[in-house]
Amino acid sequence: MATVVAVAALAGCHATPPEAEEPAVAALSPLFADVERALVRQRDAIVALRQDLHTHPELSGEEQRTAGLVAERLHALGLDVRSGIGGHGVIARLSGAFPGRTIGFRADMDAFASSAPDPYSFRSTTPGVRHICGHDVHTAVAIATAEAIASVRSQLAGTVVFVFQPAEETARGARAMLDDGALAGESLDAIFAFHTAPMSLGSIGTKPGVLLNANSVAPGATNDVALELRSRGVIRAVVGSEQLVVTTTVVPGFSEDFGHFQAVAPGVMFWLGVSNPERGTVGAPHSPDYVADDAAIHVGARTASALLLAELERK
């Protein structure tokens, strides 16, 4: 997120009953059980990855180490990986064994300038730079999702394109990646993304239409109404109806450049709850005391996997 502002409005959101035209709970993909088992197996390793990224944050345009780690993990899966796109951007193409739709998932990788004390035990070792917007979490969610879906590729129809974006905080990375041919030759049917939010751990927030306004250099984030609506049933099936938070608020002062990808394909960005009331931590992006609970990574990866599988299998 490119601008600092309080986001207490999100923290106060509550679950909304299902609307008449949407499924209350969707049937999950037959492959989801195997994907979920893979997520459980690599849970500790993914948390360790997130903590490593948090310990070594890199500012916009300087994400060389982060991008290297990302590319290494993706190469190990046997994916088609391209690096150095629009700066330090990474694209990974996960092709299933059978033809089908093409769905994207975007995660941003850059950190933010902050000299405030880091409250984590695995604190930043880079002076004046911290992950206080949750991009370390976003990256870990995407890697976990890629690893889990790769485990079922022999049964998978379609393709998932994972986009690891640099320079979101300067709102230039998405445009730079697209201008550098990030999605050249791809015809995305949909694209998803998450952003950490000060909602309770275990919750997923969603909103049709404008999620985040544009500023002078970014297009913001405007969720495709039909894609957002049909995604709700999938989210309910994964986290429970009580954990789906349908918001009506456009958070003021924040922006995003995910809108550049949403101009290429129907897209939805969801809020990923990372606050842990039991521990007294609040994951309000860009706040000096920002803390995102590691357990949110598993919630995000389960939800992302289910959403990607649902869209791949959509007729």
**What DSSP string describes 214-258?**
--SS---EEE-HHHHHHHHHHHHHHH-GGGEEE-----TT---ST
One of 36, 62, 136, 168 is an active-site residue; which one? 168
Q: Quick one: CA dihedral 112, 116, 118, 119, positive or negative?
A: negative
Buried b (16+ CB within 10 A) or exposed e, 161-175: bbbbbbbbbbbbbbb
Angle, CA 146 vertex, CA 145 and CA 152 arms, to 5°: 95
Phi, psi (rounded to 5 degrees) for 259: -55, -25
* Residues paired with residue 105 on neighbouring β-strands, in sequence order: 162, 192
- Tokens in use for 285? 């992006």
168 is catalytic: yes
One of 58, 63, 110, 293 is an active-site residue; which one? 110
Residue positions annotated with a catalytic role? 110, 168
